Structure 1
Amino acid sequence: METCTALTSVLREDYLKTPSTISEWKAVAKDFADKWHFPHCLGAIDGKHIFIQPPAKSGSMFHNYKSRFSIILMAVVDANYKFLYASAGTQGRVSDAGVFAHSDLKHAMDTGMLSFPPADTLPHTDAMMPYMLVGDEAYPLRADLMKPYPLRNLNQNQRIYNYRLSRARRVVENAFGILANRFRVFRTTICLDPDKVVTILFACLCLHNFLRHHSADAYVPPGYIDCEDANHQLMEGAWRREGGLQSVSMGQARNPSVEAKKQRDVLCQYFVSPAGSVSWQEHMV
């Protein structure tokens, strides 16, 4: 515990620091636009279970839908598989939407504490669009958090939007996969109290970002993470064959605002327009 606490203390300020200025956030968004063709994206968000032994006298508090005991790691990841934000310790019975609803991240987004850039026009258009995170269907649809269309009765444009969002969101799946397979303690049941597991977890998150920055090729060699071939077909990374962390239960977030729905529709139209389309997307849906 002393070593993990020291690692976090030394590394966290430089290697696990959430952007706090407009210019820092715009640099994140530029990487998503350049690498994953998703404009105005400030990060991909997801949650995973970290399995633990049942804490004494905790009843069913940490008991999850997989009939195991866990705490939840919720994180935001940039286009280069680095963690920008992490929250850990919530009991495993809580859904993704529940974790987000009670997180300091949501509070900071609601109150403008994160200094997200102001809305700007989408590239090569006059359409105004806020900057946003991207998440899966478990998260709430908000002006600052886009999610897929429900899978029922999708039209072609909506399928393309879902493909483009999924392509950007894949970075968070890969970041969790790298973490679990490089720090393999997370692939087991950790026999420690939840607060000690959180201490280990944050030390590993700091080391992950440190190694991504200083030893990227050695830490994540070619073929280890998902990539695309010359035709943009997905080639799954080696970490998927080794196994990864388990997803949090699908507690659906409901009642999105009319504004958020309109924003998703604008993005959908942008992705099928000459200004926002990519040449291969029709073949992927």
Structure 2
Amino acid sequence: MSESSSSDDAVAVTTFLLAYRKFRRKRKDRCIRPSPNKKEKKTVKSTILPEPRLKDTDSMRQCIHLNREQYHDLLQLMTPHIKKEDTHMKDAVTADERLTLTLRYLTTGETQSSLARQFRLSRSLISKIIPEVCHAIHYVLGAKYVKLPSSEDEWRQIASDFFTEWNYPMCIGALGGKCVLIARSQNSDSEYYDYKGHFSTMMMALVDANYNFMYVHVGACGKESDGGVWDHCSLKKELENNDIRIPQPENIPFTDRQSPYVILGDDAFPSKSYLMKPYEGYDLTHEQIIFNYRLSRAKRVSENAFGILAARFQIFNKPINTSPQNVKDIVLATAALHNFLRHDSEDTYSPSDLLDREDVNNCRLQRGQWHYYPHNALEGLQAVPRGLMETAKSVQDTFKDYFNMEGKVSWQDDMALLHALME
């Protein structure tokens, strides 16, 4: 064989090997990882949460907000929905690893590129795992922990809690909303640009007296106001058609004044006989100022709920770098986890100093620690002043008279003045 022929053969072999290596590299973007060497095989969770941390409840909470028992209970519930099967060639990413990765993403707000390095997975695979697991978290936990009352007695219990905790009778929830900011992409839909020019989707929630989300709606375009989002919420239709078994109007406790059960909103919402909002304007009477204070005091539960959510799930630290549909899954998952943790570990998940609260004995407002956590992905919605319907005004006046007569509390004048000075 000639020297020239041998040289040609060597070039051909080299070209083939380079092409084959390039083909192998392309296969790294896969849904299932190759099985590691037996000696080196170790779960990713054991790398991110080594055994000493797994036994240390405080350390584990710092990483994923759950203690060992809560994590194992949640994993047991989640496994049927997120488990992938191994093949004869490759090991699937385990349910344990999928859940740990997603909880860490939600808790710390780390980028997917950072998680890819820590979990030894491709970024494209992580971008598939996170929304899948978030969707499953909402499916598994949402049905139990994020739900509206299903009977008149359960609604009355919500109202009793508001009356006991916040001195507002006949109240069955505080309504609030946020713009959830999304990192802008080249293909951003103009419908998602809000009134500040941010790319966002909308979150609307109804909160009970204990900072739990009873109802969460996500997905309206960013350009809509609180009222516009409210018009598209299923909750509005259910309230107006009374499809959710809210009791008929009754007497306010310990009075002869009759009132419907109401939810509390703000200036952005339309006035309804079932939706109370503050009196608008600056030239208000003393009685109207008292009403506004008592309403804002009870409605504070919704702002505190959003504040806890942003403080505990640092994914809301900055605009979320994913699609609007994935943002919806993320928000619904964090709301379900919020209620789950409020139920199982309230004192550690949301201690009292995290919340805005009043010291009525010393006439002081105490600012909650959640204000000092970055929450740049959650912004207030645009207020759109609206006229007051006559039926709504009648109910509003009923509560105003009640708060200034039978329902008066000794500290309300001083606290109402303090609120007015701080606005």
Is the structural similarity TM-score above 0.5? yes
Deviation at 1:56? 5.5
Q: Contact 2:310/2:373 (CA < 8 Å) preserved in 1?
A: no
Question: Secondary structure at 1:189's aligned position in 2?
Answer: coil
Per the alignment, residue 8 of structure 1 pairs with 138
Per the alignment, residue 204 of structure 2 pairs with 74
1:41-56, aligned counterparts within 5 Å? Answer: 41-54=171-184
Deviation at 1:120? 0.7
Per the alignment, residue 272 of structure 1 pairs with 404
Deviation at 1:271? 0.2
Question: Secondary structure at 1:61's aligned position in 2?
Answer: helix
Alignment length (residue pairs) = 283
Per the alignment, residue 160 of structure 1 pairs with 290
- Of structures 1 and 2, the one scoring higher in RCO (CA 8 A, sep 6+) is 1
Of 62, 75, 84, which aligns to 2:192?
62
Question: Secondary structure at 2:352's aligned position in 1?
Answer: coil
Question: Are 2:386 and 1:259 equivalent residues in the alignment?
Answer: no
Deviation at 1:6? 1.9
Moved more, 243-252 or 220-229: 243-252
Q: Distance in 1 between matches of 2:390 and 2:351?
A: 44
**Stretches of structure 1 lacking an aligned partner (at least 5 in a row):** none
Deviation at 1:192? 0.8
Q: Distance in 1 between matches of 2:389 and 2:185?
A: 39
Q: Which has the larger radius of gyration?
A: 2
Q: Distance in 2 between matches of 1:20 and 1:195?
A: 29
Per the alignment, residue 238 of structure 1 pairs with 369
Per the alignment, residue 111 of structure 1 pairs with 241
Question: Secondary structure at 2:201's aligned position in 1?
Answer: strand
Q: TM-score, normalised on structure 2? A: 0.65
Q: Distance in 2 between matches of 1:278 and 1:242?
A: 34
**Stretches of structure 2 lacking an aligned partner (at least 5 in a row):** 1-130, 418-423
Moved more, 48-57 or 60-69: 48-57
C-alpha change, 1:239 and 1:26, in structure 2 (3 Å) is same
C-alpha change, 1:58 and 1:241, in structure 2 (3 Å) is closer
Deviation at 1:182? 0.5
RMSD between aligned residues? 1.3
Q: Contact 2:183/2:319 (CA < 8 Å) preserved in 1?
A: yes
Question: Are 2:351 and 1:218 equivalent residues in the alignment?
Answer: no
Q: Which has the higher helix share?
A: 2
Q: Distance in 2 between matches of 1:267 and 1:200?
A: 38
Question: Secondary structure at 1:90's aligned position in 2?
Answer: strand
Moved more, 109-118 or 90-99: 109-118
Deviation at 1:209? 0.2
Q: Distance in 2 between matches of 1:59 and 1:5?
A: 23
Question: Secondary structure at 2:393's aligned position in 1?
Answer: helix
Deviation at 1:222? 3.0
Q: Contact 1:97/1:253 (CA < 8 Å) preserved in 2?
A: no
Q: Distance in 1 between matches of 2:310 and 2:183?
A: 18
Question: Secondary structure at 1:45's aligned position in 2?
Answer: strand
Write the letter of the residue equivalent to 1:263: V
C-alpha change, 1:56 and 1:113, in structure 2 (3 Å) is farther
Deviation at 1:74? 0.4
